[in-house]
Structure 1
């Protein structure tokens, strides 16, 4: 897995955008007490279910891989002139 420059910022943005996507899709599972890691896993699984991202093999499925996949997804979704690309 190749490290993405500014991956943490991309993951943070992916969680924000992903929460909006999930809510519009009808997912009501996010609560204020839900940890960031739980949100990341829920969003990863939702995006895999909707076939928006390719899942990692089950034997290599961990939080770091999920974060990486979310970062790759948000890079494709965001416009090229988004300020996050310049950080």
Structure 2
């Protein structure tokens, strides 16, 4: 797994954008009391279900790998001149 610059900030942005995506899609909404782990797992599974990201291999669905997948997804979704991609 290759390290991504600003991975923590990209994951935070992915959770924000993913929360908006889930709400617009009508499948749920993040609450302020939801843990980061719960949000990451939910968003990862939603994006896999919608075929927006490729799933991890069975048995490798750990939080660090899901975070990495979300960071990759948002880095491809953001415009190329976005400040988090510099």
Please say whether Structure 1 and Structure 2 have the same fold, judged by a TM-score greater than 0.5. yes
Q: Please give the residue correspondences for 1:67-78 in structure 2 after superposition, counting only pairs within 5 Å.
A: 67-78=67-78
What's the counterpart of residue 79 of structure 1? 79
Q: How many residues align?
A: 86
What's the counterpart of residue 9 of structure 2? 9
What's the counterpart of residue 51 of structure 1? 51
Deviations 1:13-59 (A, max 9, x none): 10000000000000225222101111010000000000000010111
Of the structure 1 ranges 29-38 and 60-69, higher mean CA displacement relative to structure 2 is found in 29-38
Q: TM-score, normalised by structure 2?
A: 0.94
SS of the aligned residue for 1:70 comes to helix
Q: TM-score, normalised by structure 1?
A: 0.93
Runs of 5+ unmatched residues, structure 2? none
